[in-house]
Amino acid sequence: MKTVGVFDSGVGGLSVLRALLAESPGVRFIYVADSAYAPYGERTVSEITDRSERITAWLRQTHRIDALVVACNTATALAIDSLRDTHPDLPIVGVEPALKPAAAMSHTRHIGVLATRGTLNSERFARLRTQLERTASSPVHFICQPCDGLADAIERDDLQTQQALCKRYAAALREHAPGDMDTVVLGCTHYPFAADLLAQFLGPDVTLVDTGMAVARRTRDVLGTSIENDSAAAPPRLLSTGDPTALSRAASRWLGIQAHAEKLAV
């Protein structure tokens, strides 16, 4: 059975793990929530790079992983190139805001992007945005809105703060976007868990797009044809550098699995 390491700054990457479990049930997944250092979107590049390297090294040494999924938009934007340089023999799949799928489905060509400042300010995001704006078959316009504090509120399961922030950022996006904006990209893996709130405040004419299934399909392609989908699904192993009970509760609530998360010191 193949083993894949998955990590995020906290519980948000469970949205990616959910898609991975559905796409490749014959794979063993080790999920690390770096909750002691969450949210990454408000940390420096050097801090994010250091945390990403520590977790990757631990996953390789302890579990001999066959592939790594960086289930965090900010870590992908700021640290994945360094990880690939340090681990050239390890297949690494990252997540990026779903700008390309959004551009393909938008009829009005006006697309909102909700993400952390770390993601929006990264060179990787700028390259992706510029490439699409230059190469799209018809002009496309991205309206970007940083969502300070939203990932943290989701991490803490603070519904009152989530509601207030979703309302604020949806209003801010609407204020700066043309009236015919029809698509919004959820540019942080935490945000799908607030999708109902965001949809409520953005309105029924807006389609929300995230990257979970695209990452799951890419990971399956990377692992190749040796996946045994007929084998029994292996429960993921869950570890947290913060409070493991919070990760256990999140897995129960969002993935419908009863798993005892473990404390990890790395």
Active-site residues, by number, are 72, 188
Query: 156: buried, middle or exposed (CB in 10 Å: 19+, 13-18, 0-12)?
Result: middle
What does the angle CA 29 – CA 35 – CA 41 come to, to the nearest 5 degrees? 105
Instruction: Identify the three-state secondary structure at position 170.
Output: helix
Whole-number CA gyration radius for the chain: 18
CA distances from 14 to 49, 117, 139, 178, 221 (A): 21, 21, 34, 33, 20
Query: Which stretch of DSSP H or E encloses residue 218?
Result: helix 212-223
Dist CA 204 CA 202 (whole Å): 7
Query: 249: buried, middle or exposed (CB in 10 Å: 19+, 13-18, 0-12)?
Result: middle
Q: Report the DSSP beta bridge partners of residue 238.
A: 31
